[in-house]
A and B are shown apart, each in its own frame.
Chain A
Amino acid sequence: MAEKFDAIVIGAGPSGNAAALVMARAGMKVLQLERGEYPGSKNVQGAILYAEALEQIIPNCRRQAPLERPIIEQRMWVLDDESYVGSNYRGTKKKDEPPTRYTVIRANIDRWMSKKATDAGVLLICEATVLDLIKLDGKVVGVRTDRLGGDILAEVVVLADGVNSLIATKAGLRPTIKAADVALAVKEMHFLPKEVIEQRFNIANDEGVVIELFGKITKGMMGTGFLYTNRESIALGIGCMADDFKKGGVTPYDLLDAMKAHPAIKPLIAGSEVKEYAAHLIPEGGYKAIPQVHGDGWVIVGDSGGFVNAVHREGSNLAMTSGRLAAETILKLKEEGKPFTAQHLARYRAALEDSFVMKDLKKYRNMPEIFHANPQFFTTYPELLNRAAATILKVDGIDKKTKEKEIAGEFVKRRSRLGLLGDAIKLVRSFR
């Protein structure tokens, strides 16, 4: 193919769409390649959208985007086999302060965002898979696709191809992703009438609830579950580190089935119709697992760069922000007439470091290791916590002081004094 582009973006998820849109809007000639039938057809997310990251790319996004419900309530549940201890935060919508989190349906939001990109001049080609990068003297100069006559050249290539990033690995730009650095998540969509959802969760028609689940539902593996309210459906899922699944012999759908059968979850989805079932990887290695993100003629954005904050379940916003920062770096270099060398593209890495993306990931850099090596946080403590609550709340003629002693004794018995101290230090370290 003789036609040459200023930039090629591989992938039409949030990171690729952000990069393509920002570049095209500034007049660059952009080609975007997506292997799915349409943008969003292959993508999986909970899904919570963080509006600020989108607002930076598409002003006034809240008024145009296909959003489901703004989140007004967050529940955190620590589950034992049949019970849970939880905390709730419920706010109210403020007139002058728009909500920052919304539930969304990825196929809808991805298509909407992609339409903005094609309207801005991006040439989007779906159902074309990039097989490899074309290199000349060590510099990336284009891509090879699975279509006849499918070699296409460009000044710079943006890899936005998601968590596996097979292309980057194949081209030797990054090592193969490790099972210890990715979570495998499964998710289902349960359809229910709008009114039923609003009644069950005590919300109005433009309000939504998030439930984050933690504890014995992951059967000792490092992972979490979630349940989100959409307009007419409930999204729920669970994910654990891939290497834990390998060790444990529990399948992801076993976990999901058990979670749906938990007495705290079951009534929330009763009578629903399941219409979608999906599985996807999430890069959760954190800061220490981030590969080289730029080189001669290329940059990596989004999940393929490992930009996911697993603790706060943020991914799409890091994806959009990294896509935007990469695009802005490319635009600036073009304006200054500088070539897209590794040396110049290093500005992208600097911009990332300067943003919440790297700052947040750095903050939690120790967390994956600590939680991975200490399954007691997912088993023993949830159990102890639930028992403590049950003991304290039971009115059975035993005085409260004796009860407290009993609870403290239980903690010491299960973890030892040194163990408790160690766990406390680990928890603090993981958040710092």
Chain B
Amino acid sequence: MHIVVCIKQVPDSAQIRVHPVTNTIMRQGVPTIINPYDLFSLEEALRLRDQLGGKVTVITMGPKMAIEALKKCISYGADDAILLTDKVFAGSDTLATSFALASTIAKIGETTPVDMVFCGKQTIDGDTAQVGPGIARRLHMQQLTYVAQVEKVDLDKGEIVVHRRSEGGVQVLATKLPCLVTMLEGSNVMRYGSMDDLFRAARYEVAEWDHKAAGITVTAQCGLKGSPTVVKKVFAPPARAVKAEMIKTEGKTPREVADALLTSVFAKHPKLEMEIGQ
């Protein structure tokens, strides 16, 4: 079984701020992490590999520094990693990103056919949740989104059963391989890799692919050229001017506290008191 896991290196959004004057995102000095959702999909892929045999290949499209994120995936136990990096990919929106990733996966499949692709549900920086479905559509794969758990994969029958979270509850879905899964958070816990895997990661040379290596001959669908999305404006929502108010009371019992609360509300809105009284 060959599984490809797509990961994205993202700025640690807990530490990111929007510049108050220029309204641009201040990325400088913000540490990068692997998109948290992608770790759940990597762990799910590793579990399937451990169960059924085969291999896990991790890919990302991004700048050179994304090598660190890929090496980290090796240290968790992934077998191979490929960095898709090329100037022509700069400025990709979700359309161009999924085109580039789909081409790469197709190319990888020429050597070892791909049975499954894993993506995170969404990223914590772009937040669109469009890339996974975009890849599935292009590769004519079945797609299962918002997956909380992969229940079973039957390689002989070429079948997969998953639990998908939906608004009303949990759907148990079955479909055919090859398929693409996007994983929800909290579905599993990333393993603590072995010393062998740490050694392998420290010595691993990540393969770097440009557009040609990924089998892309025409670059019109890549990068800025292939990205119809335009960012018109970025802004930080202004802090709310209204401050919370503390209502002071000497009272201790629930009755006294409730009374103090009502008194203060009615003091502000005398009409309300009148209306209730009528």
Give A contacts to B, CB under 8 Å.
Answer: 1, 3, 123-125, 127-128, 145, 147-150, 152
Contacts and interface: CB of A to CB of B under 8 A. Distances in A.
Query: For chain B, what secondary structure do more than half of its interface residues adopt (helix, strand, loop), or is it mixed?
Result: helix
A148 B202 contact: no
A128 B196 CA distance: 12
Nearest to B201: A125
A125 B196 contact: no
A150 B199 CA distance: 10
A1 B202 contact: no
Interface in B194-234: 194-196, 198-199, 202-203
A123 B200 CA distance: 11
A340 B193 CA distance: 32
B202 A147 contact: no
A148 B199 contact: no
A148 B195 contact: yes
Interface residues of B, number: 10
B195 A145 contact: yes
B195 A152 contact: yes
A150 B195 contact: yes
Nearest to A152: B195
Contacts of B199: 1, 3, 123, 125
A149 B195 contact: yes
Contacts of A3: 199
Query: For chain A, what secondary structure do more than half of its interface residues adopt (helix, strand, loop), or is it mixed?
Result: loop
Contacts of A150: 194-195
Nearest to A3: B199
Interface in B61-109: 75
Nearest to A107: B31
Contacts of B75: 127
Contacts of B196: 1, 149
B203 A147 contact: no
A110 to B, nearest CB: 15
Contact of B202 (A124, A145, A149, A152): A124
B195 A128 contact: yes
A128 B192 CA distance: 10
Contacts of B195: 1, 125, 128, 145, 147-150, 152
Contacts of B198: 125, 127-128, 147
A123 B203 contact: yes
A127 B197 CA distance: 12
A346 B134 CA distance: 66
A1 B199 CA distance: 10
B194 A125 contact: no
Contacts of A148: 192-195
A128 B75 CA distance: 11
Nearest to A122: B202
Contacts of B202: 123-125
Most buried by A among B75, B192, B196, B198: B198
A192 to B, nearest CB: 15
A145 B75 CA distance: 15
8 nearest CB pairs, A to B? A148-B194, A147-B195, A150-B195, A149-B195, A125-B198, A149-B194, A149-B196, A123-B202
A130 to B, nearest CB: 11
B53 to A, nearest CB: 20
Given A149-B194, A150-B194, 12 more contacts: A1-B196, A3-B199, A123-B202, A124-B202, A125-B199, A127-B75, A127-B198, A147-B195, A148-B193, A148-B195, A150-B195, A152-B195
A150 B197 CA distance: 11
B35 to A, nearest CB: 17
Contacts of A125: 195, 198-199, 202
Contacts of A128: 195, 198
